[in-house]
Amino acid sequence: MESTTRISRTGIIVSALLTIMGATASVAMPANPLVSRGKPVKASNGTAAGLVDGKYGAGVFSFSANSWFAIDVGTGPTEIFITWNTTSYTWSDKIADPGRSDCKQTPSYPVNYTIQTSANSTDGTDGDWTTVAAVTDNKVTARGHDIDFTGMRWVKMVISSSNKTNDKIDEVEVFNTSNGAEDTWFFAGTSISANAYKSFPTLKTFPAWVSETHNDYNPAMIRGGIPCITSTHFARDISMYLDAAGSCHYWAIEMGTNDAWGGKADGVAAFKKNFQVVIDSCKARGIQPIIASVLATDSAKAGWQVNPEYAKAISDLTTSNDLIEGPDYFAAFKANPAYLGSDGVHPSNAGGAAMHKLWAEKMDGLFKASAVNSAARGVKTSARQSLVKVASGSPQLLLSVNEPGMLSVFTLNGRLLSRVIFRSAGRYSPARHDGCAVLQFRTRQGNTTVSLMKLPVQ
């Protein structure tokens, strides 16, 4: 049984960051600056600068039992999120195993390891080290850990055992999550995701597309494609997925091609049932699952097309569970046959690149800050002023929302006071609180509006 021991954790992950400058406040998902790129790296087999060069599939660190590497991150962050990625194609050969010999993979990964930090090391070997996370019986080829980094400078991964010899890690990234680790993403999926995120590692990635538009952001991305699996395997092993990827706030999910294989629709009911298990399990852990539509095939090559009932199923699941809408893979791949490879099902290099970009474009609203005026009393909203307003004719403070979405109420230092999900237009009376609060309303499409208001005194 895989286990992860969290030895220390500080701070509260929040969904908004408030910065007050004069009379203006700006709120958005907190940025997690990448603090490891190009930093000094020491390793058990010498230097390993390729681990922090931003090039997946390039410079690699060969590891086996009793290997280690250490990164001089520098001082400042009180929390960090560290990710590592091996060169193996599949995310796991133990999780969601479809039981098909033609799909059997033999990936490499560290099995038992620790994450350690140091405030006084000078070269990654000397100084005092504290173990902040310990993993036993790991089963995946990419993973992330959110850890306490207060007063620290170095972070080290010590691998005590691996499933093979001379395994290879091609990239490690460390993010400053002192303001919250919301901008962390697990890309779960099938061989389609493995192709897009592992087979073409030099493509412009989802984080790169986001950073190009929103310079302060660089999302953490865990690549989780497993060949041949269906929603049944996904739901069956959801607890194992959560053990290995539960530290990521968003799950960007591609799933359904194997369920829909041959163009049939007789598996739609099971597909919806399986996904409801996944959604409920994610929400119970504070994770936001986002489901992309199933890729269209090139029917001339594949000999079949995805039944439209699967698109309806994903739409129904998104609506009924108040999820953020995922990218429309079906429309994009239907309109661009060059996005598909020779079998008409899996993405080509161009299709893999498109998948990264489609996610970045669809999630764009999550990275936009909204400016508001900090009036002492009353609501002053951003440009989408009509989303949240004070209902008239009520003896108490009553907020009116005119479309489905999620309303969160925060203190000025980012502490969540309350959160409510609206399945349709409605009203809500926030709890009494002494002072001003930040209201964040996020629609199903990911659009966000922010308000600053004076709440009733307790």
User: The CATH number of the domain where 386 resides is what?
Assistant: 2.60.40.3080
Structure-block tokens of residue 148: 């306490």
Write down the pLDDT at residue 16.
Answer: 32
Residue 23 lies in a domain: no
Residue 1 lies in a domain: no
Q: 270, 265, 347: which is closest to 306 by C-alpha?
A: 265
Q: Are residues 285 and 360 in the same domain?
A: yes
Q: Are residues 315 and 417 in the same domain?
A: no
Q: Are residues 431 and 417 in the same domain?
A: yes
Q: Are residues 166 and 82 in the same domain?
A: yes
Report the predicted TM-score, pTM, of the whole model to 2 decimal places: 0.79
Q: What's the domain count of the chain?
A: 3
The owner of tokens 């999120």 is: 81
Distance (Å, rounded) from C-alpha 169 to C-alpha 109?
8
Q: Pick the last residue of a domain from 319, 334, 367.
A: 367
| Angle formed at CA 373 by CA 367 and CA 379, multiple of 5 degrees | 95
Write down the pLDDT at residue 180.
Answer: 84
Q: Are residues 201 and 347 in the same domain?
A: yes
17-74 per-position pLDDT tens digit: 333 222 333 345 789 999 999 999 999 987 688 999 998 887 788 888 889 999 999 9
- Confidence tier at 362 by pLDDT (50, 70, 90): very high
Residue 12 lies in a domain: no
User: The CATH number of the domain where 110 resides is what?
Assistant: 2.60.120.260
pLDDT at residue 129 above 70? yes
- Confidence tier at 10 by pLDDT (50, 70, 90): very low
Q: Pick the last residue of a domain from 341, 367, 393.
A: 367
pLDDT at residue 352 above 70? yes
Contact residues for 315 (Cβ-Cβ < 8 A; gap 6+):
none
Write down the pLDDT at residue 96.
Answer: 93
Distance (Å, rounded) from C-alpha 406 to C-alpha 248?
20
148-183 per-position pLDDT tens digit: 999 999 999 999 999 987 789 999 999 999 988 889
92 φ/ψ angles, rounded to the nearest 5 degrees: -160, 150
Q: What is the DSSP string of 67-106?
A: EEEEEE--S--SEEEEEEEES-SSSBSSTT----GGG---
User: The CATH number of the domain where 223 resides is what?
Assistant: 3.40.50.1110
Q: Are residues 251 and 386 in the same domain?
A: no
Residue 309 lies in a domain: yes
Write down the pLDDT at residue 277.
Answer: 97
Q: Are residues 125 and 230 in the same domain?
A: no
pLDDT at residue 354 above 50? yes
Q: Pick the last residue of a domain from 367, 400, 425.
A: 367
Q: Are residues 187 and 173 in the same domain?
A: no
Write down the pLDDT at residue 26.
Answer: 39
Q: Please give the C-alpha separations between residue 51 and each of 168, 177, 347, 357, in angstroms, as whole numbers.
A: 10, 20, 27, 24
Percentage of the chain exceeding pLDDT 90:
61
Q: Where are the beta strands (DSSP E) in 229-364?
A: 250-253, 288-291
Helix, strand or coil, per DSSP, at residue 301: helix
Range of 388's domain? 376-455
Instruction: With beta carbons less than 8 A apart as the criterion, state whether 97 and 227 touch.
Output: no
Q: Where are the beta strands (DSSP E) in 313-431?
A: 370-373, 380-381, 388-390, 399-401, 405-410, 416-422, 426-428
**Residues in the chain, how many?**
458
Average pLDDT over the chain reads: 84
Q: How far apart are the first and last CA of the chain?
A: 47
Q: Are residues 173 and 255 in the same domain?
A: no
Write down the pLDDT at residue 105.
Answer: 87
Residue 360 lies in a domain: yes
